[in-house]
């Protein structure tokens, strides 16, 4: 398994872990049986806005740890260049990721149409962010293995 494949797998797993821990934290700190937040736009806006830097920071830390462990165990160097194949794979996986997010966005609008509380819309939006990230990583792995 090459470095890029391992990185995609690590990235997908870390996305799931970050979202899971963040969701557990939000649920246990604020939501646990408390329905006052279901219509609180300020709260949900900050939940999503805080999630973005949390994800970026956690991904950087996980990436550094992965690179160190990978270097120690396999003595494989991190590829110093990003060539045309890397760029095509990145473009295609980003496209898939964006399509997934677009679908999630429409789904979140549908929750409002069906008269569900705004909380459902924000949860659908957050979940679509997570799925978009995972689809991006899985697509990357798929294109590396199967070719473009």
Partner 1 sequence: MEKRRISNNIRKLRFNNDEMTQQQLADKAGVTRQTIVAVEKGKYSPSLELAFRIALVFGSPLEEVFSYVLEEEIKEDG
Using the minimum distance from each CB to partner 1, give the nearer residue, 2 or 57. Answer: 2
**CA–CA separation, 48 and 100 (whole Å):** 17
Site for partner 1 in 65-84 (CB under 8 A): 79, 81, 83-84
> Could you tell me the sign of the dihedral formed by the alpha carbons of 8, 9, 12, 18, in that order?
negative
Q: Which stretch binds partner 1 (CB under 8 A): 48-56, 62-70, 90-98, 140-148?
A: 140-148
Q: Please say whether the beta carbons of 137 and 15 come within 8 A.
A: yes
Q: Quick check: 137 and 12 in contact, CB under 8 A?
A: yes
Q: Is 90 one of the binding residues for partner 1 (CB under 8 A)? A: no
Chain contacts with partner 1 (rule: CB under 8 A): 2, 4, 79, 81, 83-86, 144, 146-148
């Amino acid at each position: 398994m090459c470095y890029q494949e391992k990185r995609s797998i690590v990235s997908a797993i870390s996305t799931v872990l970050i979202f899971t821990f963040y969701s557990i934290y939000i649920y246990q700190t604020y939501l646990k049986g408390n329905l006052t937040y279901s219509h609180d736009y300020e709260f949900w806006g900050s939940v999503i806005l805080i999630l973005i830097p949390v994800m970026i920071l956690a991904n950087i830390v996980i990436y550094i740890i992965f690179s160190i462990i990978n270097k120690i165990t396999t003595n494989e160097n991190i590829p110093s260049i990003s060539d045309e194949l890397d760029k095509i794979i990145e473009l295609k996986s980003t496209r898939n990721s964006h399509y997934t997010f677009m679908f999630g966005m429409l789904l979140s609008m549908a929750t409002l149409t069906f008269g569900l509380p705004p909380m459902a819309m924000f949860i659908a939006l957050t979940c679509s962010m997570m799925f978009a990230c995972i689809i991006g990583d899985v697509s990357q792995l798929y294109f590396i293995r199967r070719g473009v």
